Amino acid sequence: MTEVDSRAIAITGMGAISAFGEGAEALWSGLREGQSGIRPLRHERAADLRVRIAAQVPESFDPAAHFGERALPMLDRASQFALFAANEAIVQSGLDFAAGGLGGRTGVVVGTGVGGETTQDEQSRRLYAENATRLHPLTIVRLMINAPASQISMAHGLRGPSFAVASACASTNHAIAQAALMIRAGLIDVAVAGGTEACLSYGALRAWEAMRVLADDTCRPFSANRRGLVLGEGAGVFVLESMAHARARGAHILGVLAGVGMSADAGDIVAPDPAGSGSAMTQALADAGLSPEDIDYINAHGTGTPANDPTETRAIHAVFGAHAPKLAVSSTKSMHGHALGASGALELVAVLGALRDGVVPPTANLDVADPACDLDYVPNQPRALKVRAALSNSFAFGGLNAVLAVRAA
């Protein structure tokens, strides 16, 4: 085995739930066709809100159909999403964690920006608006930010290192990076890793309104008439294995996590810095042993805000130089919304789909050219393209950056 192979991580399972419905294939099918999961906001207090649109998991998702009566009271919506996606990923991987003590050599790392926000919101309403003197006895175990990771580990008997990662919109990519580094270090052989978010509570929506970064029509990344981000929700979870472990059992490998890059801007709490995001991309390439010319596609952070899109464009130019105009760059947030800590998970599904099918998902709603955003953003229509390797960018408030380098198996 080469040194590159010894550091590379096999992705052998993926699962998701998103605005496109249940399952990773439902998400990828919608993205590769350029469909939109952004719809009018469903919320009991929608009339009180200025925000009118979101990318929400469909009402057809019935938690009771997936989780038992004893488990369901302990599961916040964020944990429901994570456990659903993990179950799908584990089934696809074909792993039996009870065999040969594998459960003890398997870790769980789940990223989330806010954790059990719906529980927090519901119980705060009871306490402050309804003057309740007692809260639900399972409030803490539902809202704690490590609950999704803990629920996955308990459901599948995974006794390796299990924990949460919270770095706002970079949470998933940081979680996957931590899982990969533990596998490389020999601490574990397998990891179940990804991200989840259920952030569309009344309090959170009001808070996002106050920031004045939400679009009122749709999400238009890199377009001159972009008006902000559109919030989303969902989860994506992946089974990661050392390459030796995956090959020894003859696993079907969906893609190879070849490298990771992480950095901090150490600047403004909300304004992005191209030097910081560029550093994470450069690190990911170096860690993967890839040159800029090896990359065919970048799934951009691409939020649709005035500040993010030109900053990310400048960072890509700085890292890729003369190769930058040859890249296919798209923001799938234009379709699945900005799911905060889960965004990187939904976007990794898109990257793996592009590698498998040779189709790059588009940047939807890109209809007015912006001179400050001058790359090939695959506007509005999917594109047939053989993708050898790709980057998936996640850049967060706080100036926290995490980039994954993924290549074909």
Known catalytic residues are 169, 301, 338
Helix (H) or strand (E) holding 351: helix 343-357
> What one-letter code names the amino acid at 362?
P
**CA quadruple 341, 337, 59, 64: dihedral, nearest 10:** -20
- Contacts for 265 with CB less than 8 Å, ≥ 6 apart: 272, 273, 275, 276, 277, 399, 400, 401
Nearest to 32 by CA among 405, 390, 357, 337: 357
- Per DSSP, the chain holds a count of helices (H) and strands (E) of 13, 15
What are 25's two structure tokens? 């294939």
Cα–Cα distance list, 393 to 123, 319, 401 (Å)? 35, 13, 8
The owner of tokens 């996955």 is 152
- Contacts for 52 with CB less than 8 Å, ≥ 6 apart: 40, 41, 46, 216
What are 328's two structure tokens? 């296919």
**CA quadruple 212, 175, 269, 222: dihedral, nearest 10:** -50
> What one-letter code names the amino acid at 16?
A
The owner of tokens 């709603």 is 365
Cα–Cα distance list, 211 to 49, 205, 293, 340, 367 (Å)? 14, 10, 38, 15, 25
Q: What is the DSSP letter of 267?
A: S
- Contacts for 362 with CB less than 8 Å, ≥ 6 apart: 34, 330, 334, 378, 379, 380, 381, 382, 383
Measured over the CA atoms of residue 69, residue 106, residue 174 and residue 325, the dihedral's sign is negative
19, 55 Cβ separation under 8 angstroms = yes
